[in-house]
Amino acid sequence: MPEDAQRVGDAAPGDVALAETLQDGARRRGFMLILSSPSGAGKTTLTRMLLQTKELDLTLSISVTTRLRRSSEVDGIHYSFISRKKFEAMRDGGELLEWAEVHGNCYGTPREPVDKVLAEGRDVLFDIDYQGAQQVRQKTGADVVTIFILPPSMKELRARLERRAEDPPDVIAKRLENARNEIRRWTQYDYVLVNSDLQSTFRELTAIVTAERSRAVRSTQAIGAFVESLLQQD
Ligand SMILES: Nc1ncnc2c1ncn2[C@@H]1O[C@H](COP(=O)(O)OP(=O)(O)OP(=O)(O)O)[C@@H](O)[C@H]1O
Ligand SMILES: Nc1nc2c(ncn2[C@@H]2O[C@H](COP(=O)(O)O)[C@@H](O)[C@H]2O)c(=O)[nH]1
């Protein structure tokens, strides 16, 4: 073993650097975690639970939309609510990573905040539809993880939209009408979960996040340096 090499348990200054090197953010690239589902299956609820779990350290991508704000929503927190004119200017100016028309309204993901979080080696959470998921996959490639959330039944999907009581009956009817087309897209996704019991689905989601964070393909050079140091040890 070379004289200057570190031993496990040695309190050398190099250990601090090594420990820092192995901070999660430094040892891997961040990824984009996309949740999609038909309206009412539960992705907003699950997104909220993921964000409230501080140790997961996920950052939500806040979409822009031309949809009217629901009474429970806060501008800048749940969405940035903008006019169609502003939306078109952002889209045409290349400010959106992806965009789509969903249930008659326009939705899009501002590119800059996503790039910033990923550059820090952290993960970004998206609540977007299958059209957006497809665009993000095509544009960005490997560092995308997609999850499709299914309802346990169409009856329960309707019941959830009605219990939520956030949309008028015609909007609920349109969302249910679109649900079948959306559900057929499940094969595009990396993972598919049936959201019957909320806590079980949440556990499944956190297990996916944890596993995806250890994928060798996302390793940075820091892990390479760490492996080299391991190989130098007795
Ligand atoms: N596993 C579950 N069991 C029972 N109710 C649920 C479950 N998951 C979510 N819900 C409820 O279903 C309703 C719809 O959920 P949520 O708003 O999260 O759906 P969504 O997929 O985000 O819909 P949208 O695409 O319209 O935003 C909410 O009232 C939520 O509390
Ligand atoms: N392609 C995109 N889809 C988005 C985006 N933000 C939200 N959505 C999807 O729209 C529907 C309806 O959402 P709601 O809040 O009006 O119920 C839902 O499927 C969302 O996932 C986006 O930026 N791009």
Domains of the chain: 29-213 (3.40.50.300)
Residue nearest to atom 19 of ligand 2 (CA): 129
Residue nearest to atom 2 of ligand 2 (CA): 128
Burial category of 88 from C-beta neighbours within 10 Å (exposed 0-12, middle 13-18, buried 19 and up): middle
Distance CA 163, CA 7 (A): 60
- Lowest mean pLDDT across 72-76, 178-182, 214-218: 214-218
pTM for the predicted model, two decimal places = 0.90
Any atom of ligand 2 within 6 Å of the Cβ of 131: yes
> pLDDT-based confidence at 28, cuts 50/70/90?
confident
Q: How far is CA 14 from the centre of its chain?
A: 35
Indicate if ipTM > 0.90: yes
> Binding-site residues for ATP, please?
37-44
> In which element (H, E) is residue 192 found?
strand 191-194
> pLDDT-based confidence at 172, cuts 50/70/90?
very high
Residues within a 6 A CB radius of ligand 1: 37, 39-45, 160, 163-164, 195, 197-198
Distance CA 81, CA 14 (A): 49
Task: For 33-94, give the DSSP string.
Answer: EEEE-STTSSHHHHHHHHHH-GGG-EEE---EE-SPPPTT--BTTTBEE--HHHHHHHHHTT
What SS3 class is residue 158? helix
Residue nearest to atom 1 of ligand 2 (CA): 132
Give the mean pLDDT of 106-123: 95
Lookup: tokens for 4: 């200057």
Q: Name the residue among 49, 22, 26, 25 with its Cα closest to residue 125.
A: 49
Give the mean pLDDT of 54-76: 96
Q: How many CA atoms lie within 13 Å of 12's alpha carbon, on the beta-carbon side?
A: 12
Give residue-wise pLDDT tens across range 137-155. 999 888 999 999 999 999 9
Residue nearest to atom 9 of ligand 1 (CA): 42
**pLDDT at residue number 24:** 57
Q: Is pLDDT above 70 for 7?
A: no
Better-scored residue on pLDDT, 196 or 223: 196
For ligand 1, the distance from its centroid to the CA atom of residue 106, given in whole angstroms, is 21
